[in-house]
């Protein structure tokens, strides 16, 4: 059975090497909306560990309020997470762009907020690093992450041995 420290390291590895780096790969590979979608899923993933279970709307919004206060938690939840992830549409709060960092979080003439992908990814990375730092010494937070891990598991990529069918 894995120790608590080993579980925390597995969680951190999954968050960084699979989830976060998947966002980077999507962006670098030209899948810009895919990167936004993965970033929203990443927020859900982090919120689940932070609160110790499946992410709920209140967990997502609470996590955004605490770790991404520059974003409107309700708009991010409804218009990024729900609309884009589930409907592949946008709810009217944002313009999603890339390679234009100077206008990140600016208000467009139509009242929408401009979210530049590269800035958003930097914000997500900062959240991940702050969360990892908290995990070092915050025992209740570590326990919530472990509970989430034990109940729901984590993303992993494993080698699987597959037996070849025998011929008759």
- In the numeric block, which tokens belong to residue 23? 């966002």
Report the 10 Å Cβ neighbour count for 92.
12
pTM for this one? 0.90
- Residue 96 bridge partners (DSSP): 115
Tens digits of residue pLDDT in 8-44 = 999 999 999 999 999 999 999 999 999 999 999 999 9
The whole-number pLDDT of residue 168 equals: 59
Provide the pLDDT for residue 167: 66
Residue-wise pLDDT tens digits, 114-145: 999 999 999 999 999 999 999 999 999 999 99
111-123 b/e with 16+ CB inside 10 Å = b?
Answer: ebbbbbbbbbbeb
Residue 160: predicted pLDDT? 65
CA angle 34, 35, 37 (to 5 degrees): 65
């Amino acid at each position: 059975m894995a120790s608590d420290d080993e579980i925390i390291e597995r969680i951190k590895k999954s968050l960084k090497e699979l989830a976060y780096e998947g966002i980077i790969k999507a962006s670098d590979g030209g899948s810009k909306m895919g990167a936004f979608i993965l970033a929203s899923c990443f927020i859900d993933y982090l919120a689940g560990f932070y609160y110790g279970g499946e992410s709920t709307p209140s967990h997502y919004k609470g996590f955004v309020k605490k770790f991404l206060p520059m974003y409107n938690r309700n708009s991010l939840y409804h218009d990024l997470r729900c609309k884009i992830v589930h409907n592949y549409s946008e709810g009217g709060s944002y313009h999603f762009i890339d390679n234009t960092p100077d206008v990140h979080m600016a208000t467009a003439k139509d009242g929408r907020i401009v979210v530049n992908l590269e800035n958003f990814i930097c914000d997500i990375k900062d959240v991940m690093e702050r969360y990892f730092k908290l995990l070092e010494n915050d025992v209740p937070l570590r326990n919530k992450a472990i509970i989430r891990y034990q109940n729901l598991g984590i993303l992993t990529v494993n080698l699987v041995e597959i037996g070849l069918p025998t011929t008759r």
